[in-house]
Amino acid sequence: MCHGIDRTRFSIDLTILQHPSEAGHAKNTARLITLVAEGAQVIVGESPRDFDKVREELLSNKGVVVLFPDANSISLSDVKKNLSVNRLVLIDGTWRKVNKIWMSNPWLQQLPICHIDGASSQYRIRRGSVPAGLATIEASASALKQLGERNTDALLDAFEAFQSNWPTN
């Protein structure tokens, strides 16, 4: 795996709100993000109380957007035109658990809500319940690229190395 890690500094910081069931999961791609993206932080939790330490920081920063595809989300290309993004918030877990975090934390809906334009998953070792769903590391790479970041391939290279080294039976 080490050969696939290219430690990279992005101008947009990453904050990942991770469901507790994902934290110890062997196929946890949020962990990979922290190996690649300098300054990326993962906060494990589900309820508003779990995110007390980061909530005010996120709400007070005018450059924060949350990646969550819903009826009110806007495309990242439109966000880029109207907002100088300096922090991207991702929610990590199965879709059911991501939705639970989303619904349990209405403060997230006070932030600009964005979605990725046209990305497809290359995740071979785990299946999601949503056909167009992406692994968190894929979503972060796609979102950062759409926001104008360079070297987002560092995230995808780590993801590919992770999958290539996963034991197959």
pTM over 0.85: yes
**In which domain, by residue range, is 117 found?**
2-164
Domain count, the chain: 1
Q: 69 lies in a domain?
A: yes
Would you say the C-alpha torsion 72, 75, 76, 82 has a positive or negative sign? negative
Q: 52 lies in a domain?
A: yes
Q: 137 lies in a domain?
A: yes
Indicate which CATH number applies to the domain containing 129. 3.40.1280
pLDDT tens digit at each of 169 positions of the chain = 555 567 889 999 999 999 998 887 666 788 888 989 999 999 999 999 999 999 999 999 999 999 998 888 999 989 888 899 999 999 999 889 999 999 999 999 999 999 988 765 555 445 555 445 677 888 899 899 999 998 898 998 887 787 676 656 5
Would you say the C-alpha torsion 66, 68, 70, 74 has a positive or negative sign? positive
Contact indicator for 42, 89 with CB cutoff of 8 Å: no
Q: 169 lies in a domain?
A: no
